[in-house]
Amino acid sequence: MSTRRKIVILGTGGTIAGLGHADGGSVGYKAAQIGVAQLLQPIAQGCLQGHFAFEVAQIAQLDSKDMDICTWQQLATACASWLEQEDVAGVVITHGTDTLEETAWFLQCVLQCSKPVVLTCAMRPATALSADGPANLRDALVCAAHGLPGVWVAAAGEVHAAQSVRKVHPYRLNAFSSGAAGPAGWVEEGRVRWGTTEAQLGGESSAVPARAWSRDAAQWPWVEIVTSTACARAEAVDALVAGGVKGLVVAGTGNGSIHEALQQALRRAVSQGVRVWRSTRCEQGQIVLADGECDPGVTPLSPVKARISLMLTLLQIQVQG
């Protein structure tokens, strides 16, 4: 009987599991075609050999642009179950790049991570001439074996914290960035070299209780993102409110400013019980309030992550009510 600790690899599909044309191109492929067990085969013998055992489970098989609440719930439930087992060192999740930052943030919000949970991905399908999936998966396994508690993203040799990571490029291999914060760490020759702020970035979060996020997906509140732009029109907000939206995240211009027409519509929305949060559409930084200014709706999160947090906040209100 083996006494080795193990790393659990959960598959959800994505480009890392994609198949393309025989010419080895990096576009025009079909995502989510290869099972996670097959993805592990080329690197299992050399990666952490003799130190860790591997266990795989296929949670979903989808293109991450189509990520849904039910898959999030299944992932969170599986992670929570595996993390409770003493012989599990960490969990790795293979995922598509398009919504990876959203899944990472959801898991950071709902899990009590006493061990590493590491998401990884690929910008090129498995059939590409220089596929990046195997190296990314290897790095994620190293990070899960020797990493810190929290939810992380391992890609292109870098490790990013769930709160700060964003996809910033549609094609290049180093498509993820943490903006001014920079990577939390780097995977180099089978070792993780952590930066100075990783402890604050990785594990800080008060987990949303399962009784909230495990509710039927149909009961999750409808929350949308509204972007403030030149020539913005109030009708967009009015239509969402008329349709039954429960929460709105406004991606404001610059330091969170909002077009006057949208502002008026948002006031009407608030008066009808819609919760409104405010973020910035800028890729880096967060809203800075003036001295004496107070706005509880301002969030440091990116609009897509703020949307997740607002959904979870409204879910908790439902449970408490």
Q: Find where tokens 């012989």 sit.
A: 87
Q: Write out the two tokens for 202.
A: 């990785």
Q: Write out the two tokens for 7.
A: 């790393």
Q: Write out the two tokens for 63.
A: 């293109």
- Tell me if 32 sits within 8 A of 18, measured CB to CB: yes
Which residues are tagged catalytic? 15
Q: Write out the two tokens for 76.
A: 């969170």
- Tell me if 11 sits within 8 A of 59, measured CB to CB: yes
- Tell me if 11 sits within 8 A of 57, measured CB to CB: yes
Residue 48: partners with Cβ closer than 8 Å, 6 or more residues away: 7, 141, 142, 145, 190
- Tell me if 308 sits within 8 A of 225, measured CB to CB: no
